[in-house]
A and B are shown apart, each in its own frame.
Chain A
Amino acid sequence: MKTLIVRILLTFTLLHLSGFPLGAMAEGEDETQWTSHLKHQFFGDRPISEDQMTIEITAPYRAEDPALVPIQITSKFPQTEAQFIKKVTVIIDHNPTPFSASFEFTRESGKADIATRMRVNAYSYIRAIAETNEGTLHMAKTFIKASGGCSAPIGTDSEAAKARFGKMKFKFDQEKLSLGSANAVQLLISHPNITGMQMDQISRMTQPAEYVTDVRVTFDGNPIMTVKGDIALSTDPNFRFYFVPGQAGELKVDIKDNLGHQFSANQSVNP
Chain B
Amino acid sequence: MVLFWIALIPPGTENASSTPLSIFDTPTPMSPIPTPRRRSLKGLSLCVVSLGMLGLSSNPLAEPLAIKAVADGVYVHQGRHLLPNPENHGEIANIGFIVGNHCVAVIDTGGSQAQGESLKAAVKATTEVPVCYVINTHVHPDHIEGNRAFKLPGVKFVGHYRLAAAMAQRAPYYINQARDLLGLTLGPDDFIPPDVEVRESLDLDLGGRKLHLVAYPTAHTDNDLSVFESQSKTLWLGDLLFMGHLPVIDGSLLGWLKVITQLQSIPADRVVPGHGPITALWPLALTGEKRYLEGLAEDIRAALKANKTIEQAMNEIGHRQRADWQLFDDFHQRNIASGFAELEWEDPSPEPAMKNPGRSDP
Interface residue A11 (Cβ < 8 Å from any Cβ of B): yes
Interface residue A170 (Cβ < 8 Å from any Cβ of B): yes
Are B180's CB and A123's CB within 8 A?
yes
List the B side residues contacting A240 at CB < 8 Å.
Answer: 309
Binds B, one of A34-42, A103-111, A147-155: A147-155
List the B side residues contacting A235 at CB < 8 Å.
Answer: 341
Interface residue B142 (Cβ < 8 Å from any Cβ of A): yes
Are A261's CB and B361's CB within 8 A?
yes
Docked Cα-Cα span, A93 to B362, in Å, equals 33
List the B side residues contacting A167 at CB < 8 Å.
Answer: 345, 357
Contact of B311 among A70, A146, A171, A265 (CB under 8 A): A70
Are A115's CB and B309's CB within 8 A?
yes
CB under 8 Å from chain A, chain B span 128-149: 140-142
Are A121's CB and B251's CB within 8 A?
no
Are B218's CB and A159's CB within 8 A?
yes
Are A262's CB and B360's CB within 8 A?
yes
List the A side residues contacting B188 at CB < 8 Å.
Answer: 199, 201-202
**Smallest Cβ distance from A17 to chain B, in angstroms?**
6
Interface residue B221 (Cβ < 8 Å from any Cβ of A): yes
Interface residue A48 (Cβ < 8 Å from any Cβ of B): no
Docked Cα-Cα span, A188 to B345, in Å, equals 8
- For the complex, count residues of B whose C-beta is within 8 A of A: 74
CB under 8 Å from chain A, chain B span 172-206: 172-174, 176-177, 179-181, 183, 188, 191, 193
Interface residue A200 (Cβ < 8 Å from any Cβ of B): yes
With A11-B85, A68-B338, A168-B354 as known contacts, state yes or no: A199 contacts B165, CB within 8 Å.
no
User: Could you give, for residues 157-172 of chain A, a 1 whenever the CB lies within 8 Å of some chain B CB and a 0 otherwise?
Assistant: 1011000101111110
Docked Cα-Cα span, A204 to B13, in Å, equals 10
Docked Cα-Cα span, A168 to B356, in Å, equals 9
Size category, A interface: 35 or more
List the A side residues contacting B310 at CB < 8 Å.
Answer: 70, 117, 238
Interface residue A47 (Cβ < 8 Å from any Cβ of B): no
With A157-B342, A159-B222, A171-B348 as known contacts, state yes or no: A203 contacts B179, CB within 8 Å.
no
Interface residue A260 (Cβ < 8 Å from any Cβ of B): yes
User: Could you give, for residues 1-31 of chain A, a 1 whenever the CB lies within 8 Å of some chain B CB and a 0 otherwise?
Assistant: 0000001001101110111110111000000
Chain A residue, CB-CB nearest to B239: A150
Docked Cα-Cα span, A168 to B334, in Å, equals 24
Are B344's CB and A188's CB within 8 A?
yes
Q: Residues of B with Cβ closer than 8 Å to A?
A: 2, 5-6, 39, 41, 44, 46-47, 50, 54, 56, 83-87, 140-142, 164-165, 167-174, 176-177, 179-181, 183, 188, 191, 193, 218, 221-222, 248, 250-252, 255, 307, 309-311, 314, 330-331, 333-334, 337-338, 341-342, 344-345, 348, 350-352, 354-362
Chain A to chain B: the 9 pairs with minimum beta-carbon distance, closest first: A260-B362, A23-B180, A64-B334, A203-B168, A24-B180, A65-B334, A203-B164, A265-B357, A202-B168
A65-B338, A156-B251, A266-B355 provided; 6 other pairs, C-beta below 8 A? A14-B54, A64-B334, A169-B348, A201-B2, A263-B357, A268-B352
